[in-house]
Every structure is written in structure tokens, then in C-alpha cells.
Amino acid sequence: MPRQPGSRTPRRPLSLFERNYRRLEAIIGRPLPDLESGVVYRLQADGFMDLVVEVLSPCPVTGAQVLSLCHYFEQAGDICQDPEMEVRAFPPREGHPGLLEALTFQQAIPPVYSRVYPEPGKVVPRLKRELNSFLGVWLRNLKAQGHRLVSERA
């Protein structure tokens, strides 16, 4: 059936990767490609742990931006992650929204370290689904808690 003049093409729902990209940009308050390597971005919300965002080396496979998202706490003089995730960000291109994909998850207590891509050419599909789902929940919680960018320092 032909489209009626002036009618809109139905939009497909955003994928989890697309929603997570938008969530992180909204929390940080700026486009992810504008974040600089070597700068620590600190986001705070009253009564909650700070979120620290850092730009890491680009992904060696795709060249995409890689970010570390982390809550830190101190125990017995040691700085511990609770949790830290590395994520890969693909910026929007014409006709395509940005994508944010979980790569790793770690926490200090109990010690956990997981990698979606344990070696080149290998992927753990179950872990990929779980970590990207967790990332979505975490980002929604950060937004609900009111995290906002408060400082940038090199």
C-alpha cells in the first residue's frame, strides 16, 4: 500500500545500544565525541557515589572511542571499583544513532572481571546481553539519582 502524502514512515524502536548511548550523553551533558583523552570527568549526586568517566585508548579493532565508567570506594587504604565498566562508543552518523556497547565489567569486592570479547574474533553472547542490560539499568539509575558533571581535570 503506498504511503499517503504527508504521512510519516514509522520509526523502529531504538536498540538497547542506541538507548544506552543517549542515556550516557544525557547524564554527561555533552556529545561523547567531545570528551577528551587524558581528562577525568567527575559526576556527582547528593548521597550517592561519584561516577568517574575517562576516555581510554581507542578500540584497536574498530577505532571506536572507549570509555571507563566507574564508582570508586576506599577500603583499608585501597581504592576499589564498585563497579567499573569499559564501554565502546560509536558516534551517530547520518541516518544512524550513536551506539554504546559494554566491553568489560569489574568490581573489587567480591573480585569479578568479565570480558565480552575475551580474545580477537571471540564473543561471549550471554555475557554481551547481560552486561549491556546491566549498563542500561545502571545508566537509568544514575540519571534518576541526579548525577551531573561537576568537574573535568587532566
Say whether the peptide bond before residue 110 is cis (omega within 30 degrees of 0). yes
**pLDDT band for position 8 (cuts 50, 70, 90):** low
Q: How many residues does the chain have?
A: 154
Note whether residue 56 is domain-resident: yes
Cβ-Cβ contacts under 8 Å for 144 (sequence gap 6 or more): none
Q: What pLDDT sits at residue 52?
A: 96
Cell matching residue 148? 551531573
Report yes or no on 84 lying in a domain.
yes
**Domain tally, the chain:** 1
Cβ neighbour number for residue 124 with a 10 Å cutoff: 14
Share of residues in the chain with pLDDT > 70 (%)? 94
In the predicted model, what is the mean pLDDT of the chain?
Answer: 92
pLDDT band at 9 (very low <50, low <70, confident <90, very high): low
Q: Which of 144, 138, 61 is nearest to 102 (CA)?
A: 138
CB-based contacts of 53, cutoff 8 Å, min separation 6: 28, 35, 40, 41, 42, 43, 67, 68, 69, 70
pLDDT band at 81 (very low <50, low <70, confident <90, very high): confident
Q: Given this model, what pLDDT does residue 11 score?
A: 77
- Contact partners, residue 52, CB within 8 Å, separation at least 6: 40, 41, 42, 43, 68, 69, 70, 71, 72
- Which DSSP state fits 63? -
88's grid cell: 565502546
pLDDT beyond 60 at 44: yes
Residue 6 belongs to a domain: no
Provide the 8-state DSSP code for 130.
H
Residue 35 lies in a domain: yes
Q: Is residue 3 part of a domain?
A: no
Domain interval for residue 129: 16-146
Span 112-126, average pLDDT:
95
Residue 151 lies in a domain: no
The Cα 62–Cα 152 span in angstroms is 27
